[in-house]
Structure 1
Amino acid sequence: MGIAEGILSVIQTVIIGACGAAGVVSGLRIYAKWNRGEEVTPMIFSWLVGLLSVGVLIYAIRTYILGGGLLGGLAVGWSGQLNLEVYEFAMLAGLVISIVSMLRIYQKYTGGEDVVPLLYQWVGSLLFLSVMGYIIQSLVRF
């Protein structure tokens, strides 16, 4: 391992550790506000987007910049490499949104509100997500 690779490794470890610590502190802040009964849905979404952004950037740097994943070839070839990642990201994003939505429905339920229409909408969105995932998977042909 050369000096440049060692420095890169240390910088990468520090950045990942700092992002992880920031994610934990933000998660604890969200948890504290949740326990006080405050609205935390926007905070959860921004927290998840931040964590996903860090993960995507780290993956992209490791795979495509440091690993040489995109050396040569045309953009059409890159789309063949990226189709599985895009599909998995779309399904993961839908799953995260559905979990956050279920938490919001639970908050309204414990607050005494009628949640039956919200449950119907939630189940419908899950069915839509599943059907669209199946269609995308069959079109992309992994």
Structure 2
Amino acid sequence: MQIDPYLNFNGNCEEAFKAYEKIFAGKIEFKMTHAESPMAAQTAPEWRDKIMHISLRVGDRLLLGADTPPQYHQKPQGLAICISAKDVAEAERVFNALAEKGQVNMPLAETFWSPRFGMLIDRFGIPWMVNTNQAS
């Protein structure tokens, strides 16, 4: 079994996934807009270029997402996507990239369980935790 996060966005999914592709050194493997789907004829013109489904491969995991129609979109709450960085340098790079134009809730710092841990909400409204797996 594998559990992969599915993120919902308020119209900026493609922008977010292009940023995540760079930040996580991943590869977008699949992207479908509403206009490219079998439901294209039933899609409102202003929604045709929005993402129906996208997948980003990062190592052996997938980060999945879509744009949620405005009447159904809700801000994420009660969860965070946890990044397990291999070392302090990677944790700092990822945290700083995600924090750009976002909101840092807990600055990246040494904790009793990790050489670096921090929490933030990125500029797309997604909550993240960055943790370092080993001492550096």
TM-score by length of 1: 0.26
Q: Pick 1 or 2: higher relative contact order, CA cutoff 8 A, min separation 6.
A: 2
**Greater share of helix residues, 1 or 2?**
1
TM-score by length of 2: 0.27
